[in-house]
Amino acid sequence: MAKKQTTKSVSASKKSSARKGLAPVVNVALLGFGTVGSSVATVLAASKFPGIQLTHIFNRDVERKRTSAAAKRVPAAVVWTEDINVILKSNVDVVIELMGGLNPIEGWLRKAIVSGKSVVTANKQLIAYRGATLAKLAAKHDVHLVHGAAVAGGVPVIPGMLQGLGGDQVTRLSGIVNGTCNYILSRMETGADYATVLADAQQLGYAEADPSADVDGYDARAKLCILSRIAMHAELDPDAVATQSISTVEAVDFSYAKELNCTIRQVSRAQLEGTTVHARVAPMLVPMASPIAWSHGTQNMVVVSGRFGGDVVFSGHGAGGEPTAVAVVSDLLAVAQGCKSVQLPVRKRKVTGEFLAPHYLRFVVDDKPGIVSAIAGALAKVGANIDSILQRPGYPKHRLPFVVTTEPCLTSVIEKALHSLAKMDCMLERPLCLQMLQIEDKPE
Ligand SMILES: NC(=O)c1ccc[n+]([C@@H]2O[C@H](COP(=O)([O-])OP(=O)(O)OC[C@H]3O[C@@H](n4cnc5c(N)ncnc54)[C@H](OP(=O)(O)O)[C@@H]3O)[C@@H](O)[C@H]2O)c1
């Protein structure tokens, strides 16, 4: 993304500083003074990086922000404004966008780029949906567009892949990129139920009042698309990536997962096969031996598999004001020093949610003779073989949860069988179907 720093404003301020015999100064505007924005101001105030000068802060209803506790760390000379034109017409060299969302943010950043300002952003939706066109615009206007904090917050997975893995052919990546889901599922692993943990996550500020973007997988699929673009040079339509909610996972699933030597995590995975990318964001059974199972709480974990370099694991704090601010400020420093990053051609790729994998099927039934043979029959009809049947003691016969695992087969094949099984009178809930992650998993 990063290009040679030749914007008029940066050059002008550099020339004027050079005339005065001072180090060149890069003027910076913060757009958004929320969790991450105020932390960026804190990091900049604490570290006083030479040549970096925060000059403007933009936020709606700005007086509210200006009188906040976080504002006390902001230098007195900084201009606070709620008029975006003040930023666009200023001599700011770099805008740091920390507001989130697509509109009106995209339009404002386009204007900033056209007026010669570089952009640092942590906005995953913007980069997932508009990253390619914004990057072209930035290249045309010879400015930087960097977004190292857009995936995994404080974990340098994007810069790590750009700078450290550009020389490999990455064919597969999988991991945990949504801290909210990881917090919920890793608490459920210790026996808590979904509703209680979600309420706790909302109280702690880990989950929104409407948790859908996290628990239904939309946040993670935006991040998966960004990672696929950087690691596999594959441009994916985020809306085409299959998602499955974690909200149907129950405490009993963790008991059965444990018997299978697994746990359950929201996994985002993508695998390049020819010209197609197999991609999916869903709760999956993860073997306890996999590094993905080791992440707890709001931690993020990404495993990148390359043809030549093998597996590389990134892990750490995926979210939070200060960890994310570190990633943002690191991007700012790279832009200010004109650092270039590796750029390889990106191609649009077809997406499918199909993976050839074993599946975990959990049924809750009013127990009657013949249920297991009906399930076996429905699976056999679509060509899926049963690998194991698990039934823990102690559950009432009139509401009996039990599990069937299958040998590797396509998810669409299993779903076809479940569609007919769900119509049986004895089925008290829609059967739950989870992919079982294996280290050697292959797509269709
Ligand atoms: N929080 C994290 O851990 C984390 C991690 C990685 C990436 N990110 C990304 O970083 C960005 C910022 O996240 P955040 O957690 O700091 O969000 P936040 O706390 O909600 O802060 C956003 C700030 O931007 C302001 N804002 C939003 N829309 C605006 C608009 N249209 N005009 C003017 N001001 C506007 C908000 O003002 P109000 O106070 O009036 O709403 C708020 O002050 C997002 O793109 C997010 O996805 C966050």
Nearest CA to ligand 1 atom 47: 123
**132 and 163 part of one domain:** no
Q: Which two tokens stand for residue 362?
A: 């959990």
Tell me what the pLDDT averaged over the chain comes to. 91
How many Å lie between the centroid of ligand 1 and the Cα of residue 60? 11
pLDDT at residue number 426: 92
Ligand 1 near 149 CB (within 6 A) = yes
Domain containing 180 equals: 157-316
pLDDT tens for residues 9-24?
A: 344 445 444 444 445 8
**Which residue in 250, 99, 241 sits closest to 188, CA to CA?**
250
pLDDT tens-digit map of 367-385: 988 999 999 999 999 999 9
Count of domains for the chain: 3
- Band of the pLDDT at 440, cuts 50, 70, 90? low
Q: How far apart are CA 332 and CA 121, in angstroms?
A: 10
Q: How far, in Å, CA of 384 to CA of 410, rounded?
A: 9
| Mean pLDDT across 350-372 | 94
Tokens at residue 27, please? 């003027």
Q: Please choose, from the candidates 412, 430, 413, 411, the residue with its C-alpha nearest in 3D space to the C-alpha of residue 421.
A: 430
Same domain, 124 and 162: no
- Res 228: pLDDT: 97
pLDDT > 90 fraction of the chain, expressed in percent and rounded: 84
**Which segment of 79-83, 211-215, 342-346, 394-398 scores lowest on mean pLDDT?**
342-346
Count of C-beta atoms within a 10 Å radius of residue 66? 14
Does 171 lie in the same domain as 109?
Answer: no
pLDDT over 60 at 34, yes or no? yes
Ligand 1 proximity of 153 Cβ (cutoff 6 Å): yes
The pLDDT assigned to 348 comes to 94
Q: What is 55-92 written as a DSSP string?
A: EEEE-TTHHHHHTSGGGGGS-TTPEEES-HHHHHTS--
Taking phi first (over 0 means left), then psi (-120 to 50 degrees means alpha), and beta for anything else, what does residue 59 get?
beta
The answer to whether residue 301 sits within a structural domain is: yes
Q: What is the mean pLDDT of residues 386-399?
A: 94
CA–CA separation, 14 vs 422, rounded Å? 68
Q: Is the CB of 59 under 6 A from ligand 1?
A: yes
Is residue 275 over pLDDT 90? yes
Tell me what pLDDT residue 441 has.
52
CB under 8 Å to 229, separation ≥6 — which residues?
131, 132, 235, 236, 346
If asked whether residues 402 and 304 sit together in one domain, one would say no
Ligand 1 atom 27, closest CA: 99
Same domain? 198 vs 257: yes
Amino acid, res. 352? T
Q: How far is the CA of 282 from the centre of ligand 1 (A)?
A: 26
326 lines ligand 1 (CB under 6 A): no
Q: What's the confidence (pLDDT) of residue 23?
A: 53
Domain-located, residue 349: no
Beta-bridge mates of residue 281: 243, 268
Exposed / middle / buried, residue 247 (Cβ in 10 Å: 0-12, 13-18, 19+) = middle
Which stretches does DSSP call E strand in 181-325? Answer: 234-235, 242-243, 262-273, 276-287, 299-306, 310-317
Which of 160, 161, 170 lies closest to 310, judged by CA? 170
Torsional class of 139: left (φ above 0), alpha (ψ -120 to 50), beta (otherwise): alpha
Is 15 in the same domain as 140?
yes
Q: Where are the beta strands (DSSP E) in 59-144?
A: 79-81, 94-97, 118-121
116 and 251 fall within a common domain? no
End-of-domain residue from the set 316, 331, 366:
316
Yes or no: say if 364 and 427 are a contact pair by the CB < 8 Å rule: yes
Rounded distance from Cα 37 to ligand 1 centre (Å): 7
Question: In this structure, is residue 330 part of a structural domain?
Answer: no
The answer on 292 and 173 residing in a single domain is yes
121 within ligand 1 shell (Cβ under 6 A): no
* Substitution site in 68, 88, 99 for ligand 1 pocket (most atoms within 8 Å of beta carbon): 99
**In the numeric block, which tokens belong to residue 252?**
């009993």
In a domain, 83, yes or no: yes
The ligand 1 atom nearest the CA atom of 101: 45
- Residue 319, pLDDT > 90, answer no
Q: Rounded to the nearest whole angstrom, what is the distance from the C-alpha of residue 35 to the centroid of ligand 1? A: 7
Q: Are residues 312 and 166 in the same domain?
A: yes
pLDDT the model gives residue 19: 43
Residues 288 and 423 occupy one common structural domain: no
| For residue 154, pLDDT beyond 70 | yes
> What spacing in Å lies between the alpha carbon of 34 and ligand 1's midpoint?
5
User: Both tokens of residue 248?
Assistant: 């149907």
Structural domain ending residue among the three candidates 146, 177, 197: 146
Chain centroid offset of residue 202 CA: 19
Distance, in Å, from the CA atom of 138 to the CA atom of 282, rounded to the nearest integer, reads 34
Omega before residue 104 within 30° of 0, cis: yes
- Residue of 20, 223, 381, 442 marked catalytic: 223
Q: Is 123 in the pocket of ligand 1 (CB under 6 A)?
A: yes
Please tell me whether residues 301 and 231 are part of one structural domain.
Answer: yes
CA 119/CA 109 separation, integer angstroms: 7
Residue 370 maps to a domain: yes
- What share of the chain in percent tops pLDDT 70? 93
* Annotated catalytic residue 381: no
H or E element that contains 72: none
For residue range 204-258, what is the model confidence (pLDDT) as tens digits? 888 888 999 999 999 999 999 999 999 999 999 999 999 999 999 999 999 999 9
Alpha-helical runs (H) found in 392-438? 411-421
Residues in CB range of 3: below 8 A, 6 or more apart: 138, 139, 142, 143, 144, 340
Q: What is the CA radius of gyration of the chain?
A: 24
- CA torsion, ordered 386, 392, 393, 399, to nearest 10 deg: -80
pLDDT value of residue 164: 93
Residues for the chain: how many in total?
Answer: 444
- Residue 231, pLDDT score: 96
Protein residue whose Cα sits closest to atom 44 of ligand 1 = 100
Q: What pLDDT is recorded for position 24?
A: 81
Query: Which residue out of 103, 119, 317, 324 has the highest number of ligand 1 atoms within 8 Å of its CB and is therefore the one to mutate?
Result: 324
How much is the pLDDT for 437?
95
Question: pTM of the entire structure?
Answer: 0.91
Q: Are residues 170 and 310 in the same domain?
A: yes
CATH of residue 311's domain is: 3.30.360.10
